Amino acid sequence: MFITRFAPSPTGPLHLGHAYSAILAHDMARAAGGRFLLRMEDTDLERSRPDYDALIQTDLAWLGLAWDGPILRQSEHLASYNTRLEALEDTGLLYPCSCTRSDIRAALAAPQEGVAFSVYPGTCRPRGMGTRQPGDALRLNLAAALQMLAAEDLSFTETGPAHSGRHSVDPEQALERIGDVVLSRKGEDIVAYSLASAFDDADQGVSHVIRGEDLFDFTPVQVILQHLFGLPTPIYHHHRLIRDDQGKRLAKRDDARAIAKYRAEGATPSDIRRMVGLPNP
């Protein structure tokens, strides 16, 4: 069964880039006779807003994209993600980290093209779990995790246009480019995007993850997490990004290209499909 999802963060209005991602995922699911799910990735409790959640639903409905089943909101599952993360606490793979809140906040969010992903230098790595203080984040000791998974086949299938094929996670590259990712922040029940989304993709039976190219380089983290938690690895399809006239990827602040704005100006859903280069059904 082909099951895919559109997983926006309700921290701003949907723009043309989101429309492309959602329409593509929806159309691929419908063409395969599968399911198209909607998941609100609202783990950033400070920036997520109910009015954006509602606007996303309005925009998708207007685009003619009906999702199957109830909406999954990650904010309603934070305790369960943390309980599952606790299973790793005695393995020696996690350590508490007290580096600054803003560093950690950036590390929890989904990485984006053009925003340098900083590899953590490992300052707190020698700390044991027993030294954990309120407000500390938990980081994954990536070298230890890779060592533990040395006998496993850490690979994934990609069907997107730019990287189509089978990809193996290269441990050296992972250490160099990804490093010790933050998995949670204590006290606030906040877990990293990479972890919540690995759990949810498995729980929702997602067979195909369809999302923007900017997340391709981050996929190895999710594959590693899937192996650590015994979760299946879906097929990935990273699609091209919709860019502005200067060639920059559209971001949440690009309200000028918000779907709601085009709608208010009288554009039709077919116009949106044309603008992002997708065929009308």
Q: Which residues sit at the interface with ligand GLU, rule CB under 6 A?
A: 7-9, 41, 110, 197, 209, 211, 215
Q: Exposed, middle or buried, 125 (CB in 10 Å: 0-12/13-18/19+)?
A: middle
CA distance 221 to 226: 9
Nearest to 95 by CA among 200, 162, 184: 184
Q: How far is the CB of 14 from ligand GLU (least distance, A)?
A: 10
Between 174 and 209, whose beta carbon lies closer to ligand GLU?
209
Rounded least distance, CB 213 to ligand GLU, Å: 11
In the complex with ligand GLU, which residue's Cβ is closer, 141 or 233? 233
Both tokens assigned to 214:
């900017």
State which residue, 56 or 97, has the beta carbon closest to ligand GLU.
56
**Nearest residue (CB) to ligand GLU, 136 versus 200:** 200
Cα–Cα distance measured from residue 181 to residue 120, given in angstroms and rounded to the nearest whole number: 7
Residue 29 one-letter amino acid: A
Residue with tokens 């305790």: 79
Task: Identify which of residues 16 and 209 has a Cβ nearer to ligand GLU in the complex.
Answer: 209
- Residue 182 beta carbon to ligand GLU: minimum distance, rounded to whole angstroms: 16
- Nearest approach in angstroms of CB 102 to ligand GLU is 19
- Least distance (Å) from ligand GLU to the CB of residue 22? 10
Dihedral (CA of 188, 192, 193, 195) sign: negative
Q: What is the number of residues in the chain?
A: 281
